[in-house]
Amino acid sequence: MKQQYVTLLALLLSASGILFSCDDKKTNVGELQFDSISVNQTEHLFGDTARPACNLTIQFTYPVHSTDTALISMLSSQFVTACFDGKYAGQQPQEVVREYAKEYVNSYRTDLEPMYLEDMKNNSDKSMIGGWYSYFKHIQGQVQYYQGNLLVYKTYYDEYTGGAHSMYATHFLNIDLESKSVLHLNDLFDVPDYQEILTDLIWNQLMAIHNVTTHEALEDLGYGVTGEIAPVENFYLSPDGITFYYNVYDIAPYSNGPVSVTIPFSMMERILGTHAVLKALKA
């Protein structure tokens, strides 16, 4: 009798384990699956390998399967717009990447070939000309976080079109998968003066990071020189809190690089709203 009891208990535990396992698999809204497209394309002016060239690299992640077909359509449109241009929204990812690459190369040649010929004709030091016309562009779109009802998509650009250095930037989309909508700061905070409170928190975090105690000391390091230190819509959510991301020149010179400031949820308890995404992250 005792052996039968133990066997029954084992079966019950096994069954409950299966149920919990099935529940775990269903925690991610939409049960999304992703694929990616990679491009590494180099094209020379006039199609001549002896002339300067442009290089385009793309790494684009997009959804390929979901239990909710409407979610795939919404996410594809958002990802394409974030990485390329809103005019491509609604097209298939492969088609978007193909058209974008074609337009990039065509624009490079159309814009630069006449100037290149003119420079080759008039500039005595032809050895320096190649660098002025050697362009590149890198685009990367990837899923940074996908858990429960939240998906964070990260895009990165780096482009050189002549000059002292390239220009690069990173942006984020925070998407509520239940409502199929992009989250903004107003969706996450309940009090009317949350912007002012967040501004103080961001300043305090930056001062702590750089081991200074005053705004003036932080400004001496270059922060707040090129733009206002304040909450921005370029942020991402995670279990750690809200991270505000400032690209080069947003709040500091190029030499400072990009700046990220994370505000833990524990510091924002009195101003946070009750959005389902926040509840899931803090659970």
Q: Helix, strand, or coil here: 171?
A: strand
Torsion of CA 162, 246, 90, 26, to 10 degrees: 140
Q: How many CB atoms lie within 10 A of CB 227?
A: 14
Q: Exposed, middle or buried: residue 135 (CB in 10 Å: 0-12, 13-18, 19+)? A: buried
Q: How many CB atoms lie within 10 A of CB 263?
A: 20
Residues of the chain predicted below pLDDT 70: 1-26, 124-128
Q: What is the pLDDT at residue 129? A: 74
pTM: 0.88
123-181 per-position pLDDT tens digit: 766 666 777 899 999 999 999 999 999 999 999 999 999 888 899 999 999 999 999 99
Q: What is the pLDDT at residue 68? A: 96
150, 182 contact by CB (below 8 A): no
Q: Measured at the alpha carbon of residue 212, what is the angle toward residues 211 and 216, in degrees to the nearest 5?
A: 155
Write phi, then psi, for 7 (nearest 5 degrees): -65, -40
Torsion of CA 210, 216, 220, 222, to 10 degrees: 70
Torsion of CA 97, 101, 107, 108, to 10 degrees: 150
